[in-house]
Amino acid sequence: MKLTCTQNELNTHLSLVSRVVPSRPSHPVLANVLLNANEETQQVSLTGFDLSLGVQTSFKVQVTEGGILTLPAKLLGDIVSRLPDGEITLDGGDETLVTLTCAAGRYQVRGMGAEEYPELPTLVDGSVAYLPVEALLEGLRGSLFSTSVDETKQVLTGVHIAVDEDGMEFAATDGHRLAVVETANVQPEDADPGSQKNHKGKFDVTVPGKALRELERMIQSNASAEPIAIRFDQGQLIVEWANQRLTSRLLEGQYPNYRQLIPKQFSRQMTCDRRLLTSALERIAVLADQKNSIVKFTLTTAEQEIILSVDAQDVGSGREAIPAQISGDDLEIAFNVKYLLEGLKALNTAEVQMQFNTATSPSILTPLGGMKMTYLVMPVQVRS
């Protein structure tokens, strides 16, 4: 193998695949990144894989001699990231010894043969959905923050994705809050008409949050104008776009029936400016974080305002009032301030609406216009 590329491009693509390389691999070769240089296409592909999550990315280079090998991901990344801007030549004259040459000097890195490196999974059959980049990012941004970090509830550490012929639904919950985002499917103009059968009927899977965070990061660094293909079968997810590919095992287990958690009717409603509410919560969170992260909402219909208050004993207290359009009886209700802020920051509209029933029943936060998102937050019971 012999190829020439820029330090910046190699470093960017190495950073993407190195993130999925395990720190304690089950097999030594999995600590490496797989490099495959193709003389015909003048491209090199880089692959990182931990047997559950795999990332592959390729880019244009000058290939003098094609070849395939693996190199230690961390060592290679540490060297390349510190090299100066400009061209780098990778020369793998020996099967496992690669020489990196740049304007500053020369480094040699010993790797392993590629024959032991496992292949990324492929799907022959299964369901496929095509999403515009913005729709996919919207679904990820609006759901990922609500996944659980508790590994004992593994199915809740992922995002539940439901697909039908009209669109996709992303849902995530950690037991205290629930985020649901709906996006529309598109059918690419050059799609095989026979593939239409894959769009019929419902299909739902639960994808690990870790895999979707990597997907979000990859799309943001290399967005495609074309719709992104998302393929599923009973055990695997594959996402492909613009010379990039991500594969992930799916989470097993029954995802909770989250739809039944969302109330159908509400007795109280509040609409306000999203930025005003977010800013006030960020200020009052300084005190809330000192105690138990709880902020109290007081809705007053007569004054048409929300009063946010915190009483952190032995530390201090805070109170802010913001204007709002309120209907229904007055209400005092308390929330975890972190949950509210994370939900508000995931929305992209000027105004938001909150709906309530009682101080102990779930509340719903939704954007007015823009994305189709429902964010359910359980209130916190506060002793008087």
Please, are residues 177 and 339 in contact by the beta-carbon 8 Å criterion? yes
- pLDDT recorded at residue 272: 97
Confidence of residue 266 (pLDDT cuts 50, 70, 90): very high
Please say if the pLDDT value at position 194 is more than 60. Answer: no
- pLDDT recorded at residue 190: 52
Sheet hosting strand 325-327, strand order edge to edge:
203-208, 158-163, 167-173, 177-184, 372-377, 363-367, 351-356, 268-273, 325-327
Average pLDDT over residues 40-68: 96
Least confident of 92-101, 141-150, 268-277: 92-101
Buried b (16+ CB within 10 A) or exposed e, 31-45: bbbbbbbbeeeebbb
Average pLDDT over residues 145-165: 92
Q: Which tokens sit at 275?
A: 């930025």
Nearest-angstrom CA–CA distance, 230 and 250: 13
Nearest-angstrom CA–CA distance, 252 and 237: 13
Please say if the pLDDT value at position 271 is more than 50. Answer: yes
Classify strands 316-323 and 305-312 as parallel, antiparallel or unpaired.
antiparallel
Compute the mean pLDDT over every residue in the chain, rounded to the nearest whole number.
90
351-370: per-residue pLDDT in tens? 999 999 999 999 999 999 87
- pLDDT recorded at residue 384: 56
Sheet hosting strand 67-72, strand order edge to edge:
67-72, 32-38, 43-49, 53-60, 244-249, 236-241, 228-232, 127-131
Q: How crowded is the C-beta side of 247, counted as CA atoms within 13 Å?
A: 18
Of 42, 41, 35, nearest in space to 10 by CA? 35
Please say if the pLDDT value at position 221 is more than 90. Answer: no
281-297: per-residue pLDDT in tens? 999 999 988 878 999 99
Average pLDDT over residues 319-347: 95
Least confident of 24-38, 94-108, 254-268: 94-108
Q: Please, what is the angle between helix 209-221 and helix 133-141, to 10°?
A: 140
Report which DSSP code applies to 369. Answer: S
Q: Which tokens sit at 317?
A: 């207290």
- pLDDT recorded at residue 335: 96
- pLDDT recorded at residue 166: 78
- pLDDT recorded at residue 193: 44
Of 178, 183, 143, nearest in space to 164 by CA? 183
Report which DSSP code applies to 151. Answer: G
Q: Please, what is the angle between helix 274-288 and helix 337-346, to 10°?
A: 150
Least confident of 97-106, 228-237, 297-306: 228-237
Please say if the pLDDT value at position 196 is more than 50. Answer: no
Q: Rounded to two decimals, what is the model's pTM?
A: 0.89
300-310: per-residue pLDDT in tens? 999 999 999 99
Q: Which residues contact 119 (CB under 8 A, 6 or more apart)?
A: none
Least confident of 23-37, 97-111, 218-232: 218-232
Please, are residues 271 and 352 in contact by the beta-carbon 8 Å criterion? yes
- pLDDT recorded at residue 131: 82
Confidence of residue 275 (pLDDT cuts 50, 70, 90): very high
3-class state of residue 319 by DSSP:
strand
121-144: per-residue pLDDT in tens? 988 777 888 888 888 899 999 999
